[in-house]
Amino acid sequence: MLDAMTLPELTPAQRTDVELLARGKAEKSRTLREMNLPETPESAHTLLLRLGIWNEAKTPYADRLGATLTHLTLDVPDFADEDRLDLTHLPAYAIDDEGNRDPDDAIGIEALEGGLIRLWVHVADVAALVPPESELDLEARARGATLYLPDQTIGMLPDALIEKTGLGLHDTMPALSISLDLDADGNADAVDVALTTVRITRLTYMGAQAKLEAGEEPFVTLARLAHASKELRDSEGALSIELPEVKISADENGASVTPLPKPEMRFVVQECMTLAGWATAIYADDHDIPLPFATQADPSREVRGEGLGVQWARRRTLARTRFQPSPGPHSGMGLDLYAQATSPMRRYLDLVVHQQLRAALTGREPQGGKVVAAHIAQATLNADATRQAERLSRKHHTLRYAAAQPDREWEAVVVDRRGPQATLLIPELAYDLPFSTPAPVGTVLRVRLVDINLPALSMRARLV
């Protein structure tokens, strides 16, 4: 191996040769072979770092996985005039993390006779501007999902489309709205889907939480409905998994990892989105509309108890969510049928859901089940590359953040063990790593993080 005194100077051709391997665009490197170095992307990455050609901010994972890193700049049409249900008199709120740039859903309520409450979940009417097989649709399908990296976001659709369709970015907005008429116990009396015009107020989770704690409506009623819904789903076997979550940000100067607060309103919004997905699936099933229905098999085993170790074990029992053009149960959510419907700006299969619903609502024939199945296959493959690129890039920048604090002590929890080998979870980083210890699951340790290797995406923990 090369030491610091034998680092070569690469010619432009050699540099290109090494970079192609590091980016996963070539399988071999003559330059590395001549230097007696392994011809692997990790080895190429290491050399580029040591030569100062790349810096620690560089992440090659999206490139290696074939995820698109170019911003989409296709022209975006305007909304056409069409009949819509006017809901601008009903307050509704798009509630997101601070700094969110693509507000695609909002919630509100309407009081009905007989004590029922109509929950409205408004979703950006992206399908109005992205019809099936249009140039925008084909490009979104090829990407599968928006790519969220710690240092940049690459949209599934153009920024100009977000500006035109984002809820709360203009005084009134077109939307595709999903409604559920709920009783006090969270039971649904009716569901519906409509093309609407809405007026949306944007709030952060913490801003909405302050209003909930102050006893303001509709936040109090929304919270009550969300808790009632969750209790019903729990009674049907829904699994709740509470593991640490973090926000990771990065630029040329460094990286930061910040634990995500979990105010009650984050749960309320998530539960409303779950209800919207359930209602969408019911509506589509009732009207024979093929959708990318989300399904999940029963857990491999039941895990009871509390603590991070139990949450970790519970997550491992979950089967992967699968998509199919016909309804099926989603056991993790405790629902008999379900469809993801609230993120058409960011997930292609959500956009397909909207295209199918919009076709039915406007008197056109939705695409058939075989076409939907083909879309599922292609979009899932492309979205999988996007999610994997996100995961590896987040891990990379988490290691950067840890490497910048070599003397820091971290709290780590033993969440799993296989013989002498354990898995440690560092809650502040939402990061897990292997560790040899006889300590039982649930034990809290104090560790330092050492031997951080960015190209290998690895580090070790050492007891303090």
pLDDT in tens, 407-437: 999 999 999 999 889 999 999 999 999 999 9
Rg (CA), the chain: 24
Sort strands 444-453 and 458-463 into parallel, antiparallel or unpaired: antiparallel
Q: Is the separation of the CB atoms in 425 and 441 below 8 Å?
A: no
Q: How many domains does the chain have?
A: 3
Residues counted in the chain = 464
In a domain, 64, yes or no: no
Please state, in angstroms and rounded to a whole number, the distance separating the CA atoms of residues 87 and 110. Answer: 10
Beta-carbon-side half-sphere exposure of residue 142 (alpha carbons within 13 Å): 13
Whether residue 185 sits in one domain with residue 301:
yes
Give how far the C-alpha of residue 210 lies from the chain's centroid of Cα atoms, to the nearest Å: 25
Is the Cβ–Cβ distance between 339 and 353 less than 8 Å? yes
The H or E element containing residue 160 is: helix 159-165
Give the per-residue pLDDT at 6.
67
pLDDT mean over 323-337: 96
- In the numeric block, which tokens belong to residue 69? 């890193």
CATH number of domain containing 31? 1.10.10.10
- 417 with 388, same domain: the answer is no
Residues 388 and 411 in one domain: no
| Residue-range definition of the domain harbouring residue 379 | 85-392
**pTM for the complete prediction?**
0.94
Q: For residue 388, what pLDDT is reported?
A: 96
Which residues are paired to 447 by β-bridges?
410, 463
Query: Are 271 and 375 in a shared domain?
Result: yes
Q: How confident is the model at residue 1 (pLDDT cuts 50, 70, 90)?
A: very low
Question: For residues 304 and 92, what is the distance between their CA atoms, to the nearest angstrom?
Answer: 38
